[in-house]
Amino acid sequence: MIEFTLNGKAVRTDDDPGTPLLWVVRDTFKLKGSKFGCGAGLCGACTMHIDGKASRTCMTPISAVSGRNVTTIEGLGTPDELHPLQAAWVELSVPQCGYCQSGQIMSAASLLNKNPTPSSADVDAAMSGNICRCGCYVRIKEAVLTVAGQSLAYNADEEIKA
């Protein structure tokens, strides 16, 4: 039996200890916000927080979270009280298809928890491992910087990194 905290609630599971956390959260606990993308920890669609740190859960065995705190996109905010990043995503119409967006938001939240006033380069570095097939990188960056109280300055002489 593996016990951990999921979105602030103590939970336990008897799933195989080698089962990826993503599948336990989706299949056992029925939280479908985090997505399966690549299965190799490269795209970021499965990103959740483990003890506050953005983690690729398609590669994290459930045994690794025993006694730890796991937060999914469902635990970041509620429909009645959105997390500031979720509100910025809506306000700025960030997503197109939306598939990667929970992972994008979870990575951004981890960044802002560590660095509440990131530079443009800090955002690029923190978000570089999250892939968006629709190419919403500029709007994602704008949302993160907006929450940080900054703005995305468009400079024709400087390439905006995705």
Between CA 89 and CA 104 the distance in angstroms is 10
Q: Sign (positive/negative) of CA torsion 49, 90, 77, 38?
A: negative
pLDDT tier for residue 158 given thresholds of 50, 70 and 90: very low
Tell me, what's the pLDDT at 98?
A: 87
Evaluate if residue 1 carries a pLDDT over 50: yes
Percent of residues, the chain, with pLDDT higher than 70: 93
| Long-range Cβ contact pairs of 65-70 (< 8 A, separation 24 or more) | 65/2, 65/4, 65/21, 66/2, 66/3, 66/4, 67/3, 67/4, 68/4, 68/5, 69/4, 69/5, 70/4, 70/5, 70/6, 70/7, 70/21, 70/25
Using one digit for the tens of pLDDT, what is the confidence trace for 125-135? 999 999 999 99
Cα–Cα dist 55/128, whole Å: 14
**What is the predicted pLDDT for the residue at 147?**
95
pLDDT tens digits, one per residue of 63-94: 999 999 999 999 999 889 999 999 999 999 99
Q: Which pTM does this prediction carry?
A: 0.89
2-76: which CATH topology? Ubiquitin-like (UB roll) (3.10.20)
> Comparing 21-25, 27-31, 84-88, 155-159, which segment has the lowest mean pLDDT?
155-159
Task: Return left, alpha or beta for 60; rule: phi > 0 is left, psi -120 to 50 is alpha, else beta.
Answer: beta
What is residue 143's three-state secondary structure?
Answer: helix
- Name the DSSP letter for residue 152: -
pLDDT value of position 155: 42
Q: What is the pLDDT of residues 32-62, one digit of tens each?
A: 999 999 999 899 999 999 999 999 999 999 9
- Where in the chain are all domains bearing CATH 1.10.150.120? 84-147
The CATH architecture assigned to 84-147 reads Orthogonal Bundle (1.10)
pLDDT band per the 50, 70, 90 thresholds, residue 150: confident
DSSP state of 15: S
Average pLDDT, the chain: 92
- Cα–Cα distance for residue pair 111/132, rounded to 1 Å: 18
Q: How far apart are CA 21 and CA 2, in angstroms?
A: 11
CATH 3.10.20.30 range(s) for the chain read 2-76
Q: What is the C-alpha to C-alpha distance for residues 109 and 116, in angstroms, rounded to an integer? A: 9
